[in-house]
Structure 1
């Protein structure tokens, strides 16, 4: 087995720094992997998770502009096949301004039945109709009841309704409805504020919710968002959940009351002090013979900061109450057994 059924083990997918991992499987059976590379949108492809680890085809599909709004800090790209076309959603900043200029952008690619790695890719710009006054990163798209929604991490509003423009210590989760993959159909609504102590650094200086990902059980009994919290550049990074529970037939994803935050994190550092450290920014796949697995980044040492964030894989179990990972990073590294190459 790749991951032992009887233990909470994990597998190391990459041996190099690949923060904010995003892996998807296309209709052609291939796996496509992208991650934060700052000056480009990278893409790896492979016929199996094992090949993705040992010998993927590598090559960027888009590079940062020389100047302007997409000239540096290209963060957390995600590849999605939506409405018949490939799209990549990513955050980018202006090199002359820095982090406070981060906004979300969209690349349009080939038809969804073609190889996304082959391109061509074009910059479509920001999501049309999305308020560009707000700092925004880590955007993801999901479909619910045949409607597309865009969820992202952003700086909060001021009391007068304007957006905060110079505050890097608080990030909230927002959601808006999409008319199509590149057009907003509603105002953004805040659905998650970092109110829990475990969403903050121990000194309370960084209160962060980011990296949202849609997750749904195979049975459909649990739906919601898994997000990362606390500071990604520290060992305190972790993942938690927001369950989608509409309070009435008329309530939907744009009603903040439809989201219930977990009492405890889904995944965090082990209490015995063993690594990996700072698990976060996960994505999910249902794999043959493995069930639901989570790909996330974590560091080998608790002092690595935002360096050496390697992609790891760990199994997620479904229980009556929803997703369960035992609360902590696996207690041992799993083995790449003979069957691993069959994982599709």
Structure 2
């Protein structure tokens, strides 16, 4: 078991770590919400000291000009892609902050930190509504897009959706709603399912997601499906009635969530997430910068289900 420092990287929320060809890449939301940064290292332990490289800055106006949230880095068919959410200047002008859409950037160069990034535009979905936290994964010979979005026709802030990808910046077919906020722990403060992340183990594919408001109520839920089952059929998916990773008052870790998964070089599965170490947030929680990136090794039980455990306390 590894014992990483906690926090692992300070003031980086919505963290995402990709292990690609023996190199670890890190991307996350920055407190200013104005740019996309990448850093890389040969080991996980070296990521906090790795120099961040700004690969894209938001424009002053237009559809990608406000509140750059929750980027992810992926490598698909020999090219790099960054998915991120952004709001339009006009949405803020109308005092309607939360009108985010999803966008994609592409880099055809080998090194994503120094290569050229090209804007591929908005990723269109079934609704023109609040949309964020996209991820992608390869499964059953297809590339899939997994994201959070508000359905204007039902209560709640966001649900989790799945669709097959046509290109790395577009989807095809009818999206499937995998989950909506329905349990009490998903509806504290806000009715939220967001931040999906994918991990496979044994005969199952798992989707973790975050629920409730981004204060100490924030927590992680879990969906799963058999690897051989059709992921486009809602009846093949299962949902845990309880959260799998929650605030630890004893360890002073509040609102653990918005996770991704990576692996150590030894093959251990690692939960990458953010949490605060206090609850007394002054002003809007959105602008509190101290959601720090944290790491925790996860285990597996005899039924092949993940064991997330408890968020460990801060330690150097």
Aligned to 1:242: 223
Aligned to 2:211: 229
Q: Separation in 1 of the partners of 2:237 and 2:277?
A: 33
Aligned to 2:150: 155
Please point out which of 117, 134, 140 is paired with 2:135. 140
Aligned to 2:2: 2
Q: Separation in 2 of the partners of 1:10 and 1:212?
A: 25
SS at match of 2:255: strand
Aligned to 2:279: 302
Please point out which of 290, 294, 305 is paired with 1:312. 294
2:192 aligned with 1:211: no
Aligned to 2:103: 105
2:85 aligned with 1:91: yes
Tell me: higher relative CO, structure 1 or 2? Use CA pairs within 8 A at least 6 residues apart. Answer: 1
The answer (yes or no) to whether the contact 1:277–1:298 under 8 Å persists in 2 is yes
2:57 aligned with 1:57: no
The answer (yes or no) to whether the contact 1:64–1:74 under 8 Å persists in 2 is yes
| Gap change, CA 1:132 and 1:262, over 3 Å in 2 | closer
The answer (yes or no) to whether the contact 1:103–1:132 under 8 Å persists in 2 is no
SS at match of 1:268: coil
| Gap change, CA 1:67 and 1:314, over 3 Å in 2 | same
Please point out which of 306, 309, 315 is paired with 1:323. 306
Aligned-CA RMSD value = 2.1
Q: CA deviation at 1:157?
A: 3.9
* Structure 1 residue ranges without an equivalent (≥5): 4-8, 160-166, 336-344
| Gap change, CA 1:10 and 1:267, over 3 Å in 2 | farther
Please point out which of 146, 161, 178 is paired with 1:174. 161
* Structure 2 residue ranges without an equivalent (≥5): none
The answer (yes or no) to whether the contact 1:39–1:73 under 8 Å persists in 2 is yes
Q: What CA deviation, in whole Å up to 9, does each residue of 1:153-186 have, x standing for no partner?
A: 1101417xxxxxxx8x521111111123122111
Q: Separation in 2 of the partners of 1:196 and 1:284?
A: 24
Q: What CA deviation, in whole Å up to 9, does each residue of 1:211-237 have, x standing for no partner?
A: 0011111xx2221201111112x1111
Q: Separation in 1 of the partners of 2:179 and 2:5?
A: 29
Could you tell me the TM-score, scaled by structure 2's length? 0.90
Aligned to 2:233: 255
SS at match of 2:235: helix
The answer (yes or no) to whether the contact 2:127–2:151 under 8 Å persists in 1 is no
SS at match of 1:188: strand
Q: Separation in 2 of the partners of 1:121 and 1:281?
A: 25
